[in-house]
Amino acid sequence: MMNKVAFTMLSVLGIATVGRAQNINWRAFGTGPASTISVNAGLDYGVAFGVAYGRRVSSRVPIVLGADYSFPAGDKVTDDFKVRSGLQIEVVRAGPFSATVKAAGLFRRFENTQALLQNFGSEFAGVAGYYTRRWFVAGEVTFDKAIVTHVKHLKEATDLNPGLVSGWYIPTGGNLLTGVQTGVTLGRTDFTFKVGQAVSQDFRSRPLIPFYMQFSYGIRF
């Protein structure tokens, strides 16, 4: 049975999800193959930074494949990070209205003086709103699940509690995020902003900072 220390740390990992997938203005992205690269900064259980790349592929429906890397601010930027790859599909297009679904797999690493956690997870999201070539505004719902996590207890923790057991734990934490995103397009440049709140999958507890926000600057080419 999972000990209380491991359970607490796994809950923190489920909350500490830095960075989000690229925000796309579908009306400005064109119809053929194209790429976009962006950098972002924001607040997501702490100050976080990231870089993302997306590629629109030729298909009957608009699809963007992408990957991103994000990390929290700190003295050692390689201690904690998240790598994610997935796709976005515009499933509904009716004039200025657009609805998008997103799916991604992710790997994240979290370390402190007590333990090293490495996690494989998934992320599913839906976005719907009003889009023009100049600007857009949309609502978003995201479920972030930490599927399997390896916990390695470090010396400081084992000195206090020799009975701690390192190993794999399934399943672990998950969080539901709801918010809004908006953006302005100037030529091939996109400036976007998103803000929202987070709640754990049990709908009862919240992270220490129960909201997120992110500014992003992107270029299409």
Span 38-84, pLDDT tens digits: 999 998 767 889 999 999 998 889 999 999 999 887 666 566 889 99
Question: pLDDT tens digit string along 9-27?
Answer: 555 554 444 446 678 999 9
Reduce the DSSP state of residue 219 to 3 states and report it: strand
Tell me what pLDDT residue 112 has: 84
Side-chain-facing half-sphere of 208: CA atoms under 13 Å: 9
Q: List the domain range (segments joined by +) for residue 172.
A: 4-220
Residue 167's region, left for phi above 0, alpha for psi from -120 to 50, else beta, is left
- Terminal C-alpha separation, the chain: 51
pTM of the model: 0.84
Distance CA 115, CA 39 (A): 30
Q: What is the mean pLDDT of residues 128-147?
A: 95
Q: Looking at residue 120, which CATH number applies to its domain?
A: 2.40.128
Scan for tokens 């220490």, then name that residue. 208
Task: Provide the domain count of the chain.
Answer: 1
Mean residue pLDDT of the chain comes to 86
Report pLDDT for 14: 47
Nearest-10 Cα torsion for 28, 30, 35, 37 = 0
Structure tokens belonging to residue 82: 């998240």
The pLDDT-based confidence of 200 (bands split at 50, 70, 90) is confident
**pLDDT over 80 (residue 30):** no
